[in-house]
Structure formats: C-alpha cells, structure tokens
Amino acid sequence: MEFLKTYVLRRNACTAVCFWRSKVVQKPSVRRISTTFPRSTVMPAWVIDKYGKNEVLRFTQNMMIPIIHYPNEVIVKVHAASVNPIDVNMRSGYGAKALNMKRDPLHMKIKGEEFPLTLGRDVSGVVMECGLDVKYFKPGDEVWAAVPPWKQGTLSEFVVVSGNEVSHKPKSLTHTQAASLPYVALTAWSAINKIGGLNDKNCTGKRISVKESIIAGHFSWPVVLI
C-alpha cells in the first residue's frame, strides 16, 4: 500500500513538472529592426581623408559596404553618378561645420570622424535591399536619387538612401542620363517654388525658361527665368 502511494505521488509530480515546462518555457519573441546585418565585405569608392584640393581625392577598394540602419532606408547599387559644384566645394571643406552638426547634433563624435568621406550627390541605379517600412520599392527596381550632403555620397559601388530621397527612374532615360539630373532638377524646382513662388496651384498657363550651363560634361547650377 505504501509503495502504491509513493508511485502515485511521483507520477503526479512528474505530470506537474511537465505541465509547468509546457506552459512557461516558450520561444522568445524577436522584434526585427532591420533587414541588414553588419558585414565585413568592402567596395570600391572615391573618398577624401581630409579637406583640400584635387590631391586629397583617393580611390580605394576597401570602403565598407553600407548597411541599413533605419526601416525607411534602401541600398542602391550605383550604375551611374555625377559630379556637381557642391562636390567640389565639399572637397574643399565648404559647409563642413554645419554638415557635421547635422551628422552629429549631440556632438558625441570627435573632430574628423566624417572621414573617409565619399563625395557625389546624384545617383542612378538598382535597389538591392529595402528596410522593413519601405513599401514603394523592391529589390530590382531602377531608381534615381539626390543624396543630402551630410550623408555618404554616390561615388561608390553602393549607397544608402532614405525612401523619401529616391524615386523610380524614368524608363526613357539611361542610367547615365538619369544620374545627371536629380540635384540640378531639385535646385531648379527650389528656385521656381521658393523664389518664383510657383506651385501646382498657380502655374497653369505660365511658361518658365530654365537655362543650364555645362561643366566637364555635367550640368551645373540652373538659371531660372520666369
């Protein structure tokens, strides 16, 4: 009789343990923040390690491939990029203090941490990877973009841009043609909108002349005549 009681108690204890394990031990939930993991692969790029004249330009095969840090970003494989006057000015240090404040508003980095700095604002290429919140693009889409001057530039194999900085490339344009337009086109639009005061509500029936000058095969700042 005593043996039967011991057997029943042990069996009940085993059942309780098994029940506790089945209820408590669960697979932990994982919140995905980005679709990209840090890699050790590198890419070719034109960079500068300090501000100066043309001699500070350096071609490297060892620039780290950029990764997605925010869910609204995309990685673009560069098919074509262009040079604008702002790239020449940035090479010389134009706006360096203001741009560093934009890159590091809390002043947590030491001076010079923006280097190696990749120049280039315009890009035309193909989407390689998208952040989790990107809805309008997918890998393989042909796109063009104007990258803000506080970000790493487009004179490289890959570049990261936010979803609101990129759009689908017109099918009528080649990558080379498309890469010559975004920055100067946005400059022209800014002049038309901010200085000329024109927008989609008041420009019906009006004609605008946009004169572009060409330097070394690339468009420079536009002159807008209203």
Per-residue pLDDT tens digits of the chain, which is 226 residues long: 554 444 444 555 444 444 334 444 444 444 444 455 555 589 999 999 999 999 999 999 999 999 999 999 999 999 999 999 999 999 999 999 999 888 888 777 777 789 999 999 999 999 999 999 999 999 999 999 999 999 999 999 999 999 999 999 999 999 999 999 999 888 888 888 888 888 888 888 888 776 655 444 444 444 444 4
pLDDT of the residue at 3: 44
End-to-end CA distance of the chain: 106
- Phi and psi at residue 172, in whole multiples of 5°? -80, -10
Q: Cα–Cα distances in Å, from 127 out to 113, 132, 177, 194?
A: 28, 14, 18, 31
Core vs surface per residue 90-114: b (16+ CB within 10 A) or e: bbeeeeeeebbeeeeeeeeeeeeeb
pLDDT of the residue at 212: 59
Rounded Cα distance between 3 and 217, Å, is 97
Rounded Cα distance between 177 and 158, Å, is 19
Give the dihedral sign, CA 154/159/164/170: positive
Q: Can you list the domains of the chain with their CATH numbers?
A: 42-197+219-225 (3.90.180.10)
pLDDT of the residue at 5: 47
pLDDT of the residue at 211: 66
